[in-house]
Structure 1
Amino acid sequence: MEQHPLLVILGPTASGKTKLAVRLAEALHGELISADSRQVFRGMDIGTGKDLKEYKINGKQIPYHLINIRAAGEKYNVNEFKEDFYQVFEALTVKKILPVLCGGTGMYVHSIFQDHEYTAIPVNEPLREELRLKDIADLRELLKGYPAVLTQHADLSSFKRLIRAIEIAEYLSHHELVSVKRPLIKPFVVGLTSDVSLRRKRILQRMELRLEEGMIGEVETLLESGVDPEVLTFYGLEYKFVVAYLSGTLSYTELKVQLGTAICQFAKRQMTFFRKMEKDGVVIHWFDTDQDSDQLFSQVLGAYIHRKGL
């Protein structure tokens, strides 16, 4: 079965993923597919860093996908992303256009490399509420009560993962999981990394810029349009802290300090997740973003072309 190319650009927040991905898409006759869990929502532009103006290069508009496909206030999960991704991927492949997957939501990117159909299994909230009352030893014992074929996927390392494993086993005990045939993908994964202190500096500079561009006003507009404050808080980071500021819980100074710290911590978690992907067998080619952007582009383009044998 034919393998179809996929170029992936991943990295922590404020690493310059979009700019690089757009330049590569132009050079390689590609289009971008976003792997950002919040950029799917309309009206959430500044806080999510959509930077849609970056998709125009040398007078040419680079098409993008999976941005602004849901209304703010809705939910969107990894399984929905996976379905949407493959729909776009197959459409681009038919037209001989290179799909360039770009984003920092590691779980979304990782889902493409995992042949896990379990992401389609829905959340069972009543069961979760019941399981949360137990300790980790009880959960492990409970999982043993299911047939081994239903628990071979299980990760016993954490409370949260045990609950999900039991949820999956319970679902499979009463439902048949339909196998979905996916196209074979031949990925080239580019990871962007940098000195931690420089990354922190870029994060804080970008946060200041977003505040100047009207991030607080954006959140006010979302609230006035009827989006529940709790839902915005659920979206996290910028939206969580700005909602707290608008409610009077945080002063403006506290907003900046706490949000800056939270974004830096988030970037660290992103890098941890990418390293986990490597442990799971995903080959990531790392490039330093502290160098000149033209040099970075040339290095990545050269590595991709060499790998393709072009």
Structure 2
Amino acid sequence: MSYNIITILGPTATGKTTLAAHLAAKINGEVISADSRQVYRGMDLGTGKDYEDYFVNGVEVPSHLVDIEDAGAHYNVYRFQTDFIEVFEAIQSRNKFPVLCGGSGLYLEAVLKDYKLIQVPPNKKLREKLEGKSLEELTEILKSIKPGLHNITDVETDRRAVRAIEIEMYYKEHPEIDTSMPEINSLNIGIKFDRDSRRRRITGRLKQRLEDGMLDEVKKLLDSGVTPEQLIYYGLEYKYLTLHIIGTLSYDEMFRQLEIAIHQFAKRQMTWFRGMEKRGTKICWLDGYMPLEEKLEKIQQLFSK
């Protein structure tokens, strides 16, 4: 297969950015971040923006979709897909190779599976017309308006099938909407550690970031005018550190609850990646303990197959 992008994915604290940057440096590439929180300016330690990871042998590897939105705003997967297309095509136009890197499963799948993410409103009349039809009938209707049906999750249930028909009908009635995605042929590399190692890495990284000033980062955001409610919305580090700063949690309560929340988050990430595999996305998993040079060599071997 001829790949036009390499994707590095995995749960939090697995060293994805370092690997992506070194790979990009080796293959004349640029990194595209697929992280739902690293898009926000000023949210650095809490989102794991390890800027130094983008420097390979003293040279900065170009990166994209990091620090593109003000803290307090709401970025979403619709915007990500649009921004990704723009960056992906720009990288290709420079004869560079795109390396997608992140742990936000929905963001990754939105581009790897060619999701059409225009927000389509409900069509009450159409739903009434389709009511009572069997899943087989709904599937045939969907195939008639979408001959290249390849996403079987669209017809897993009656409800999904009706929604898929509704979306396709909306696109047909609004041809001015551009729902096209560039062709994506991705070599997907997953990095994972065993459960105990992952937990140790998460706890160690949390302690390090607190020592590096993550609490001061949250205080600075609050002082800049971002409200506690806005920071709590972002979850994990920003939620629990804010709750500590406003007096809801003691430091020990904050640390303990945040540690548990990050462990649960990493578990959900792995569940999502397994779901991606079930939905047809091939992921080649590498042991996180494999030395960096061996990882790079393995990726290049897979790429050249």
The TM-score, its normalising length taken from structure 1, stands at 0.83
Match of 2:219 in 1: 220
Shift of 1:230: 1.3
Return closer, same or farther for 1:17/1:99 CA change in 2, 3 Å cut-off: same
- The answer (yes or no) to whether the contact 1:6–1:188 under 8 Å persists in 2 is yes
Alpha-carbon distance between aligned partners in 2 of 1:186 and 1:293, rounded to the nearest angstrom: 24
The answer to whether the 8 Å contact 2:8/2:16 transfers is yes
Aligned residue in 2 for 1:43: 42
Identify unmatched segments of 5+ residues in structure 1.
Answer: 128-139
Partner of 1:79: 78
Q: 1:142 & 1:206 partners in 2: Cα distance?
A: 54
Structure 1 position 229 matched with structure 2 position 228: yes
**SS of alignment partner, residue 258 of structure 1:** helix
Letter in 2 for 1:144: E
What is the aligned partner in structure 2 of residue 270 from structure 1? 269
Structure-to-structure mapping, 1:109-258, within 5 angstroms:
109-117=108-116, 119-121=117-119, 144=131, 148=138, 153=154, 156=157, 165=163, 172=170, 176=174, 178-258=177-257
Q: Give the letter for the 2:118 counterpart.
A: A
Write the deviation string for residues 23-52 of structure 1: whole angstroms up to 9, x where unpaired.
Answer: 100111000000000000000001001011
Give me the TM-score of the superposition, normalised by structure 2: 0.84
Match of 2:146 in 1: none
Matched position secondary structure for 1:185: coil
Instruction: Indicate conservation of the 8 Å contact 1:32/1:62, yes or no.
Output: yes
* Letter paired with 1:35: A
How much has 1:153 moved relative to structure 2? 3.6
Match in the other structure for 1:137:
none
Q: Is the 8 A contact 2:109 2:115 kept in 1?
A: no
Shift of 1:281: 0.7
> Which aligned segments of 4 or more residues in structure 1 are displaced greater than 6 angstroms?
140-143
Equivalent residue runs for 1:56-95 within 5 Å:
56-95=55-94
Q: How does 1:274-289 map onto structure 2 within 5 Å? A: 274-289=273-288
Provide the aligned C-alpha RMSD in A: 3.1
Instruction: State the shift of 1:115 in Å.
Output: 2.8
Query: Which whole-Å deviations, capped at 9, do the CAs of 1:243-281 have from their partners, x for residues lacking one?
Result: 111111111111111111110110010011011111111
Shift of 1:60: 1.1
Q: Deviations over 1:96-143 (max 9, x none)?
A: 1000000000100001122332x221689xx9xxxxxxxxxxxx9998
What one-letter code is carried by the residue in structure 1 that aligns with 2:201?
A: R
Hey, what's the Cα distance between the residues in 2 that align with 1:299 and 1:53? 24
Is the 8 Å Cα contact of residues 35 and 108 (structure 1) preserved in structure 2? yes
Seen in structure 2, the aligned counterparts of structure 1 residues 290 and 173 have a Cα distance that, compared at 3 Å, is: closer
Residue type at the aligned position of 1:120:
I
Secondary structure (helix, strand or coil) at the match of 1:183 reads coil
Distance 1:155 1:45 in 2: 40
Q: Percent identity?
A: 43
Please report how far the alpha carbon of residue 154 of structure 1 lies from its aligned counterpart in structure 2 after TM superposition: 6.4
TM-aligned CA distance change 1:197 to 1:153, over 3 Å: same
Does the aligned pair in 2 maintain the 1:32–1:65 contact within 8 Å? Answer: yes
Contact 1:195 1:290 in 2 (8 A): no
Separation (CA, whole Å) in 2 of partners of 1:234 and 1:145: 39
1:226 deviates by 1.0
| Pairing 1:296–2:295 present | yes
Query: How many residue pairs end up in the alignment?
Result: 286
Give the match for residue 135 of structure 1: none
The Cα of 1:291 is off from its aligned counterpart by: 2.8
For residue 299 of structure 1, report the CA deviation from its aligned partner. 2.2
For 1:204 and 1:142, locate their aligned partners in 2 and report how far apart those are by CA, in whole Å: 54
Whether 1:16 and 2:3 are equivalent positions in the alignment is: no
Structure 1 residues 144-153 or 27-36, which shifts more? Answer: 144-153
Q: Is the 2:30–2:99 Cα contact (8 Å) retained in structure 1?
A: yes
